[in-house]
Amino acid sequence: MFLVALTGCNSTTEEVDSGRDAGRTESDAFAATPDALSVDAGPRADAGSMTISGGDVSGIWCGTIDVMGSVTVRVSSTLTVCAGASVRFASGVGMTVNGTLALPGVRDLPISLDAADRWLGLVVSGVVDGGFVNIAHASQAVDGRAGSTITLNDSTIATSSATLRLANGGTFDRTAIRGGSTVLITGGVLRMSDSLLDLEHDTLTPDCTDWTAGGAVLDHVRFTGCHCPIHIVHSSLEFTITNSILDGATNPVMIADSVARFTHNDFIGTSSLVLDIGGGRSGIECDLANNYWEGPLGNVAQIGTSNPSQFTGEDVVLAARVPGAGPR
């Protein structure tokens, strides 16, 4: 199914540029703190290279891997990419994961999934489990389908046209997502902690996130560089945001048809207006108590709604910014 060419002794890993907003002070210096994943980092071969022509793949990839045609990890199969490996996709090539893709990078040996030109990204119906992974130059970096289980910690997703589309949620701790278009959640729970989501165009469309189903558990996250950090069309599951920063936006929250709780967050930006966007049959139950608000009218929560009874706690505000809010 594939061709292998051994050509060298050392693999190289491209660093994804994460520098931006040098003037900002709130949690800009995002850094992954653990030295390794909790899972076994697996083999770390530092020699060799291979060329994959396409088709079904499994086993272990180490060194520098050039993927020339689209590949599939089949159901019940596992592909493990060694710590320190550099996987380079040809233009228009992607990977479908119906089985398990293990990406056990470590701090000093991250894994790179990249392309000289635009590659298609990961389409996941199975399991992706990894950390210290740099994903760059994809059309859709991670497309999680129904039934997928996705965990990417201590990682970076950048320079991609789109970053995350999740039909069954996912876990992204200590991870930086930069640029691209809206993160779309159509099912499952998005879990993020000590992470950054920055679309890199303050106050301008599109929105940072968009929920049409599912929910969220978000703690110590910074959402910035977009029109609206949190956009909830519909949320059918738990939705909580704590100890986070929402800035660089026009409206920090646009919400409809959901039960949501925001507490101990810093709302900082052009407007402090939480906007009821209507729609749905269930209405809104939104708790806004114990947040810090910094807007044109000072430290006060403003709500744009024709039904204020859907919101509680807007008059319980913090007098100062939340200590340690945003990525730690």
Tens of pLDDT, residue by residue over 25-36, are: 333 434 433 333
Report whether pLDDT(207) > 70.
Answer: yes
Of the candidates 126, 273, 279, 99, which has an alpha carbon nearest to the alpha carbon of residue 203? Answer: 273
Q: Provide the percentage of residues in the chain whose pLDDT is more than 90.
A: 80
Distance CA 158, CA 308 (A): 39
Counting every residue, how long is the chain? 328
Helices (H) and strands (E) in the chain, counts: 0, 34
Mean pLDDT across the chain? 88
Least confident of 195-204, 234-243, 277-286: 277-286
Tokens of residue 283, six digits: 């209405």
At residue 279, the pLDDT reads 72
b/e burial code for range 130-160 (CB count within 10 A of at least 16 → b): bbbbbbbbbbbbbbbbeebbbbbbbbbbbbb
Rounded mean pLDDT, 179-188:
98
Rounded mean pLDDT, 89-96:
98
Report whether pLDDT(173) > 80.
Answer: yes
Rounded mean pLDDT, 263-278:
90
At residue 208, the pLDDT reads 98
**pLDDT: which is higher, 14 or 290:** 290
**pLDDT: which is higher, 248 or 298:** 248
Phi-psi sector, 63: left (phi>0), alpha (psi -120 to 50), beta:
left
Tokens of residue 211, six digits: 């929920």
Rounded mean pLDDT, 110-128:
98
Of the candidates 227, 267, 220, which has an alpha carbon nearest to the alpha carbon of residue 242? Answer: 220
Rounded mean pLDDT, 290-318:
90
Q: What would the pLDDT profile of 65-86 be if each residue is shown by its tens digit?
A: 999 999 999 999 999 999 999 9
Distance CA 59, CA 2 (A): 12
Report whether pLDDT(124) > 90.
Answer: yes
Distance CA 227, CA 198 (A): 11
Report whether pLDDT(9) > 70.
Answer: no
Round the CA-based radius of gyration of the chain to a whole number and report it.
21
Confidence class of residue 282 from pLDDT cuts 50, 70 and 90? confident
At residue 46, the pLDDT reads 53
Least confident of 122-126, 130-134, 170-174, 267-271: 267-271
At residue 33, the pLDDT reads 36
Q: What would the pLDDT profile of 232-258 be if each residue is shown by its tens digit?
A: 999 999 999 999 999 999 999 999 999
Contact criterion met (CB below 8 Å) for 163 and 185? no
Provide the whole-model pTM. Answer: 0.87
Report whether pLDDT(40) > 80.
Answer: no
Domains of the chain: 49-312 (2.160.20)
Rounded mean pLDDT, 98-120:
98
Q: How far apart are the first and last CA of the chain?
A: 45
Distance CA 23, CA 29 (A): 11
Report whether pLDDT(43) > 60.
Answer: no
Report whether pLDDT(322) > 70.
Answer: yes
Rounded mean pLDDT, 294-303:
82
